[in-house]
Structure 1
């Protein structure tokens, strides 16, 4: 009952915090897609570079989020943005890279060689094969990487509230600092619902993409 009352009394603020959370995650994942997808395509043709890039991205993923936020603070303090949105944004972009780059790399790398040969036989250039054949076929797997990145960053963005990034994590950090259990529960539940809702929506998009790709074979 206390939790329900909390939602009823703070629904306006919770909506604003949810929009802050979505904005932070959306911008971070959006930039990660712009960086990670082209990079994943590029390294799919360069095996040694791919091993290095994926290893570095994997190492970044092993760094605890609080520690990475802590690393960002002194670096960005140089431009007077040591806390708040920017360090959280930068950290989330770094965390999002592995699933996006890895899935793009694997998807493009595993395109059927016979289909590539058929495209070559039709006289397609490397660029034409990439745009008209390889990327459309790889799109569902790339989308799965984006889906993983979104779920990951939604959770990590909640921790970013500790460095003043806002979002639903504010409820968790404030609730812990004041021993207000209901506030912690409200924040945690809201983050979970947002993650589940995003996963469902992106899953629908992924399923919508897959039949189209299959039809194009």
Structure 2
């Protein structure tokens, strides 16, 4: 859905032609719908734990992908095109269209492992900061990398007058914000000690990525 002409209008993703460019808009819409439905199918097969009933697992997916999170963020993103937005408005877009889904993915893993409330809160904070950092870095790469390096159309956000961190606060401040958010994400993992090292490495990788 995100690559469709009515959304981000991207012809390439990871160096390959996007779904709508190969199969047409109609098939791309249906493919997106099918994948979202499969997410619920997979969640419905989750092994039940003592703390988290199946209804709570399914609700996590529904809320993150629904009108209060992902859809709300995408609507705000579209409405902001060509307009001057505040930093708070920009954060709202990024929190909902990107960070919410990353946070939910992490929460679902924790819930499937029967994590207690303290650990779930810590991982929720980690996911929230990681998701925001991911989107800030994505905004930065759009204006600093080439299409060949990114595997998708570079400079597209600027051309579409999208609300991005470099557009709102500048490139240097955006890099500083990405570092701050990454540090916040790592700090949230302190209660796990060395067990969370793979998640710390993931945060560092995302901060340093070039595509």
For the superposition of Structure 1 and Structure 2, which TM-score range results when normalised by the shorter chain? 0.3 to 0.5
Question: Going by fraction, where is helix more abundant, 1 or 2?
Answer: 1
Question: Bigger radius of gyration, 1 or 2?
Answer: 1
Higher relative contact order (CA 8 A, sep 6+): 1
Using the size of structure 1 for normalisation, the TM-score is 0.36
